[in-house]
Amino acid sequence: AQSVTQLDSHVSVSEGTPVLLRCNYSSSYSPSLFWYVQHPNKGLQLLLKYTSAATLVKGINGFEAEFKKSETSFHLTKPSAHMSDAAEYFCVARAFGGGADGLTFGKGTHLIIQP
């Protein structure tokens, strides 16, 4: 079984400042890790994914995440926030050989961008 913990339910940053959304995972198996974004009244969109290749993963819209096995973390960062980044962000895991076939979602982090 696996679990995903997003450490902050809400994060507020000013436009143009860095963004850090924190995620820790727990899995008995080698996980694939994803970050999805959900804008109001829109479907979930994949930002990036880690699949045991490079530990630093670059995604769309300037986001990136680093897989740190020793810390069981997969934090999402962006150097400079834009107003359009305001949304709900989900850290997601799927473990190979670990049981249920679906994705395991964290509870989400609501990102607020202050003008």
Q: Applying CB under 8 A, which residues contact another protein?
A: 32, 34, 36, 41-46, 49, 51, 90, 94-96, 99-108
Closest to another protein by CB, 25 vs 115, is 25
Instruction: Please give the Cα distance from 9 to 93 (Å, whole number).
Output: 18
Instruction: Please give the Cα distance from 112 to 115 (Å, whole number).
Output: 10
63's CB contacts (< 8 A; 6+ apart) are 35, 47, 48, 76, 77, 78
Provide the minimum distance between the beta carbon of 15 and another protein in the complex, in angstroms, as a whole number: 25
State phi, psi for 86 to the nearest 5 degrees.
Answer: -60, 120
Closest to another protein by CB, 30 vs 114, is 30
Provide the minimum distance between the beta carbon of 35 and another protein in the complex, in angstroms, as a whole number: 12
Provide the minimum distance between the beta carbon of 91 and another protein in the complex, in angstroms, as a whole number: 9
Say if CB 17 and CB 1 are below 8 A apart: no
Closest to another protein by CB, 78 vs 90, is 90
